[in-house]
Amino acid sequence: MIFIAVKWTVKPEYADRFPELTKEFTAGTRSEPGNIFFEWNKSLDEENTYTLVEAFQDGAAEAHVTSDHFKKFVAEAPDYVDTTPRIISVQGVDGDGWGEMGEVKPR
């Protein structure tokens, strides 16, 4: 599995609308063969910051970065960001998606 986390600091004037601005990109990516998950999260600590957490089956990321929705979004994204996004990308991660955390169980 390929695991990727990208931290996006968005210009203040786009921060509230950023989920809507990413909607087409998100839907396109989630429909790709090999996509395991693609989730946006808003930071509780850093203003105007979103983290994208995504995973693909091994070998599927190439199709992602060459897709039309990816190319369109990265062409538009410089208008929305306040800083260059920061990324962690790890290939060869064991597993095929989310597992349960052993230390916490609902009561």
Pairing relationship of beta strands 2-9 and 49-56 according to DSSP bridges? antiparallel
Residue 36: band (very low, low, confident or very high) from pLDDT cuts 50, 70, 90: very high
22 DSSP assignment: T
Rounded to two decimals, what is the model's pTM?
A: 0.91
Residue 62: band (very low, low, confident or very high) from pLDDT cuts 50, 70, 90: confident
Runs of H (alpha helix) within 1-107: 12-15, 18-21, 23-30, 61-65, 68-76
Q: Using the predicted structure, report yes or no on whether residue 61 has a pLDDT greater than 90.
A: no
Q: Which residues contact 14 (CB under 8 A, 6 or more apart)?
A: 21, 79, 80
**CATH no., domain 2-90:** 3.30.70.100
Handedness of CA 32, 77, 23, 45 (dihedral sign): positive
Residue 89: band (very low, low, confident or very high) from pLDDT cuts 50, 70, 90: very high
Q: Which residues contact 101 (CB under 8 A, 6 or more apart)?
A: none
User: What is the C-alpha to C-alpha distance for residues 6 and 47, in angstroms, rounded to an integer?
Assistant: 16
